[in-house]
Chains A and B, each alone.
Chain A
Amino acid sequence: MKLEIGNFQVQKVEFGKTSSYKDGTLTINKEEALAVVFEDEHITDADLVLTKPGDDVRIVPVKEAIEPRFRLNGGPAFPGVTGKIERVGEGKAVALKNCSVLAVGKHWGSFGDGLIDMSGEGAKYTIFSKLINICLVADTDEEFERREQQKKNHAIRWAAHRLAEYLGSIVKDMTPESTETFELGPITKRDEKVKSLPSVVYVMQPQSQMEELGYNDLVYGWDTNRMLPTFMHPNEILDGAIISGSFMPCSSKWSTYDFQNCPTIKGLYNEHGKTINFLGVIMSNLNVALEQKERAGMFVQQIASSLGADAAILAEEGYGNPDADFIECFRVLEEAGIKTVGMTNECTGRDGQSQPLVTLDESADAIVSCGNVSALIELPPMGTVIGELDALKRDGLSGGWEDDEKLGPSVKEDGSIIMENNSMFCGDSVLGQSVKTMREF
């Protein structure tokens, strides 16, 4: 399968009469864009707010990030979500780079939502401070979850995905400034030279813990909780087959943007044919019951072995009980003789002294560690807040709190904040961008 993504490097975004793109400037007709949002009557209030790196802006609660894309065969950018299901990962698509659509609650946050500071000390905690963010700030009539800590955030997230597709369509007829090509042929038909290289699978464990539908990552619109591990072509992940969910404590979250730009997949592509034979992606999940974890591990082991994988990179979207899936897969892959490197973040507590993963095994001897969900972060107030700052302390975000005997509330009177890294939007970048590691002190 061959996928060509035509890239447009967005330098500036502004509102204007006609949605268009020229020489790095993306112009958005706000009414047209919002019309796409309001296609869902459950959206009661919506606005688009623009912000760019360096702005004195704080954004919270952020529920999702998506890169604007359009598929040139006219099919949906996110099959099963923005349109009917069809296979992705092949043909041509266009992408608006250096920017993302953010789904932001006008008022209401939830456990898995996060925060982004576009400048200052807080900017380093998330890659999204380096992008131009087109913020969809919205409210909905989803009363059933208004006061719940766990929210599906369905209306806002689906609207943001539609919006990302609308924005991508702006450049659909234009010649891309550059093109990225991703090509990986059928495994048994590759040439001898490639076949002689060590073969590698990328095992992904997206979050799927909630038993009720509507919260977990989706593959072609299907809930990952209702899946057994399967084999996917890496292009599918880059081209919209999988979207993020609405549960995972935010620094561990893999947003749709992260999937679309998955650095580990791109990194393995770079090595393909040179140092490795990149077989493809084993898409597993992170179900909660022990038997389900063991069953998933069995499938991962069998698929990897049957493909003849020599090695694997394994990544988990989460901490806590997902560590059990991570260690289980690590263990069974190594048991099958498949040399594995794991990518994860840790939860060592604010004092740094807690055990990094909830379960351990000697076989997990090669791990790249991307950050500490528990790190305590204090930040000054920012000039403007997109969304609602109080959500951080009031709505049960994983890294914020109403009150604490020693630290007080997460949001102070003057707008300064104290929080855990846990709620930094996609802060630990376990899919590969993280420039953080963990160190012994």
Chain B
Amino acid sequence: MVKEIEKAGITIVQMANLIPVAKTVGANRMVPTISIPYPLGDPQTSKEEQWKLRYHRVGVALDALATEVEEQTVFEV
């Protein structure tokens, strides 16, 4: 889906845990998440901590959308 949306000219960032998979499917802008069942918030941590992590990483994702890249890029969180 990432490739199709990007081919249509809509800038897209993929947030995924398995970065190797995201690379394989051809995503150009990628932001790592912390796991598969809970990408943006570990239920073992407090609500505060989950919020902080989610807010931060979504911020990175938005910044990724605003960043020019030449090739597949994983944005550091």
A–B contact, 8 Å CB criterion (strictly below)? yes
Binding site for B on A (CB under 8 A): 211, 288-290, 321, 323-324, 327-328, 355, 358-361
Asked if B9 lies at the interface with its beta carbon under 8 angstroms from chain A, I say no
Asked if B50 is at the interface of the complex by the 8 Å CB criterion, the answer is no
Interface contacts beyond A290-B17, A290-B19: sample of 4 additional A-B pairs, CB < 8 Å, sorted by A: A321-B21, A323-B21, A324-B18, A359-B18
Confirm or deny: B35 has a beta carbon within 8 angstroms of a beta carbon on chain A: yes
Alpha-carbon distance between A109 and B30 when the two chains are bound, in angstroms: 38
Q: List 18 A-B contacts (CB under 8 A).
A: A211-B37, A288-B17, A288-B35, A288-B36, A289-B17, A289-B34, A290-B18, A290-B19, A290-B35, A324-B20, A328-B20, A358-B18, A358-B24, A358-B25, A359-B18, A359-B20, A359-B24, A360-B24
B41 within 8 A of A: no
Question: In the docked arrangement, what's the CA distance between A359 and B27, Å?
Answer: 13
Give Cα A115–Cα B23 distance, bound, in whole angstroms. 35
Q: In the docked arrangement, what's the CA distance between A355 and B22, Å?
A: 13
A117 to B47, CA, bound (A): 49
| Dominant SS among interface residues on chain A | loop
Instruction: Tell me how far the C-beta of A347 lies from the nearest C-beta in chain B, rounded to whole angstroms.
Output: 13
C-alpha spacing A358/B7, complex, angstroms: 21
Distance in Å from the Cβ of B21 to the closest Cβ of chain A?
5
What residues of chain B lie closer than 8 Å to A324, measured between beta carbons? 18, 20-21
A358 to B11, CA, bound (A): 23
A211: B residues at CB distance < 8 A: 37
A292 closest partner in B (C-beta): B35
Chain A residues with CB below 8 A from B37, complex form: 211, 288
**B23 partner residues in chain A, CB cutoff 8 A:** 359
Also in contact, A327 and B20, with CB within 8 A (given A288-B36, A289-B35, A290-B32): yes
Chain B 4-48 interface mask (CB, 8 Å, partner A; 1/0)? 000000000000011111011100000010111100000000000
Minimum C-beta distance from A329 to chain B (A): 12
Q: Chain A residues with Cβ under 8 A from B21's Cβ? A: 321, 323-324, 358-359
Closest chain-B Cβ to A257's Cβ sits at a distance in Å of 29
Q: Name B35's closest neighbour in chain A (CB-CB).
A: A289
A212 CA / B33 CA spacing, docked (Å)? 20
Q: How far is the CA of A290 from the CA of B17 in the complex (A)?
A: 6
CB neighbours (8 Å) of B36 from chain A are 288-289, 321
| C-alpha spacing A361/B19, complex, angstroms | 13
Chain B: CB-nearest residue to A289: B35
> Contact check: which of B20, B24, B32, B35 meets A355 at CB < 8 Å?
B24
C-alpha spacing A359/B22, complex, angstroms: 8
Please name all residues of chain A whose beta carbon is closer than 8 Å to the beta carbon of B25 when the two chains form the complex.
Answer: 355, 358
Q: Bound state CA distance, A211 and B35, in angstroms?
A: 11
A243 to B25, CA, bound (A): 34
Q: A53 vs B42: C-alpha distance in the bound complex, in angstroms?
A: 49
Q: Give the residues in chain B near A359, CB-CB below 8 Å.
A: 18, 20-21, 23-24
Cα A135 to Cα B18 with chains together (Å): 40
- Which residue of chain A lies nearest to B24 when distances are taken between CB atoms in the complex? A359
Inter-chain contacts of B18 with A (CB < 8 A) = 290, 321, 324, 358-359
A358–B22 Cα distance when bound, in Å, is 9
| CB of A320 to closest CB in B, whole Å | 9
List residues of chain B with CB within 8 A of the CB of A289. 17, 34-36
Q: How close is B48's CB to chain A, nearest CB, in angstroms?
A: 21
Q: Which A-B residue pairs are the 9 nearest by beta carbons?
A: A289-B35, A359-B20, A288-B36, A359-B21, A359-B24, A358-B21, A324-B18, A290-B17, A360-B24
Contacts of B20 in A (CB 8 A): 290, 324, 327-328, 359, 361
Q: With A and B bound together, what is the CA distance between A148 and B23 in angstroms?
A: 33
Inter-chain contacts of B19 with A (CB < 8 A): 290
Cα-based distance from A39 to B19 in the complex (angstroms): 47
Residues of B with C-beta under 8 A to A355 = 24-25
Distance A328 CA – B18 CA, assembled complex (angstroms):
11
**How far is A315 from B24 in the complex, measured between Cα atoms in Å?**
21
